[in-house]
Amino acid sequence: MSDKTLIRSSPSSKSTRLFIPDLVYFEPGALEYPKGKQFMDFVTARGIEYRMTTSHNRVTNLPGETENEKYRIAKRTLVVGVRKTLDFDQSKPSADYAIPISTGCMGHCHYCYLQTTLGSKPYIRVYVNTDEILAKAKEYIEQKAPEITTFEAACTSDPVGLEHITGSLAELIRFMADEPSGRLRFVTKFHHVDPLLGLKHNKHTRIRFSINSDYIIRQFEPATSRFHERIEAAAKIARAGYPLGFIIAPIIWYDGWEQGYAELLQSLANALPDDAAQGLTFEMIQHRFTKTAKTIIEKRYPKTKLEMDVAMRKQKWGKYGRYKYVYPDEQQTALRQFITERIFEYFPSAKIDYFT
Ligand code: SF4
């Protein structure tokens, strides 16, 4: 947690600022860990309001008059705790396991799946016992070695947006660098990658950027890094020698989508160093929603232009036992074909992992 990484950009630079919480809660035991003390130093040095709580489940009395105000405040509230459940969830198909270092996110992407999965607890949780989490990861690796075990660090959060406070990704990357059979991956919508650039990684960590057309980012992804910021950050990651990937998600059908996605791929090709194309991966996820998500989104972002008209969508049975709504086959095919062609036009040796 160096001071250098904590400098806020000046507003005139129009750079997305590093996240600084407005309110921090500490759970019991958190301050017994060096990382807990590090968080406390961070908080007191900046005069951030903090409270002690017996459990994150008791973080229910957040300030705010209306439900939406409480939601916005929760998104700027950090809960520092000890991760008790050390059995990792599976994270197929992207990785074998989800490695838990944080939950929740300060971003305000209208379509975000966390709106439903985190329910009434949208605050951000970070864990102080990284050593115990890494010891568990080592157990999983040893069970399967010499086969490779992969861990996804961004299943329930965007840890890059929190790295200047936690330093947890740096710990994971360094740890995985020395594990011949361990691999790490995570995805981000933030450009604050500078603390990761000089780390020893041995190419055991793949960093993916969640990207989209400039229009989609401006319309639907407030409080995340902008189009050009993410692309510049990806170029930095490529130059630092990390395996690199992109998730184009959610792919959205709108007036001008062809131009938007063509510009996206062209901008990537212009920004990335020539050798970055080697080993580059793409994942493509079309926009989908459930009826529950639609209700929550319309309440939290009442002015959203996100199209969620079930009559214009195709119903698909989801693995969580409810229907989700995706684009009809014809639109899916058009989106997939067009973007795939653009990818191979600029990056002929890239690999497309999936379109879903
Ligand atoms: S950055 Fe990712 S995790 Fe955060 S709000 Fe946006 S979609 Fe959700």
β-strands 95-98, 102-103 pairing:
unpaired
254-264 burial: b if 16+ Cβ within 10 Å, else e: eeebeebbbbb
Largest CA distance in the chain: 57
The Å distance, Cα 157 to ligand 1 centre, comes to: 7
Ligand 1 centroid from CA 142, angstroms: 32
Radius of gyration (C-alpha) of the chain in whole angstroms: 20
Residue 154, classed as helix, strand or coil, is coil
227: CA distance to ligand 1 center in Å?
Answer: 15
Please choose, from the candidates 311, 340, 342, the residue with its C-alpha nearest in 3D space to the C-alpha of residue 327: 311
Ligand 1, pocket-test mutation among 76, 106, 108, 114, most atoms within 8 A of CB: 114
- Prediction pTM value: 0.93
* 304 CA from centroid of ligand 1 (Å): 16
Q: Cβ neighbours of residue 1 under 8 Å, at least 6 residues apart?
A: 38, 42, 164, 165, 167
- What is the pLDDT, as a whole number, of residue 76? 95
Identify the pLDDT of residue 1.
37
Q: What residue ranges line ligand 1, CB within 6 angstroms? A: 105, 107, 109, 112, 114, 158, 189, 224
H runs (alpha helix) in the chain = 3-6, 34-45, 67-74, 114-117, 130-144, 163-166, 168-177, 194-197, 214-220, 227-239, 257-271, 291-300, 329-346
Q: Are 182 and 176 in contact (CB under 8 A)?
A: yes
pLDDT (0 to 100) of residue 121: 87
Domains within the chain, CATH numbers bracketed: 83-355 (3.80.30.30)
- The residue contributing the CA closest to ligand 1 atom 8 is 112
The closest-lying atom of ligand 1 relative to the alpha carbon of residue 158 is 3
Separation CA 125–CA 120 (nearest Å)? 14
Q: Is the dihedral of CA 287, 187, 197, 82 positive or negative?
A: positive
CB-side neighbour CA atoms (13 Å) of 176: 29
Closest of 238, 156, 226 to residue 191, by C-alpha: 226
Among 110, 113, 158, name the best residue to mutate to test ligand 1's pocket (greatest count of ligand atoms within 8 A of Cβ): 158
Q: Report CA-CA distances (Å) from 33 to 147, 225, 273, 350, 355.
A: 33, 31, 41, 43, 42
Question: According to the model, what pLDDT value does residue 4 have?
Answer: 32
Q: What is the pLDDT along the chain (356 residues), one digit of tens a residue?
A: 333 333 333 333 478 999 999 999 999 899 999 999 999 999 999 999 999 988 777 776 778 889 899 999 999 999 999 999 999 999 987 899 999 999 999 999 999 999 888 887 899 999 999 999 999 999 999 999 999 999 999 999 999 999 999 999 999 999 999 999 999 999 999 999 999 999 999 999 999 999 999 999 999 999 999 999 999 999 999 999 999 999 999 999 999 999 999 999 999 999 999 888 889 999 999 999 999 999 999 999 999 999 999 999 999 988 767 899 999 999 999 999 999 999 999 999 999 999 99
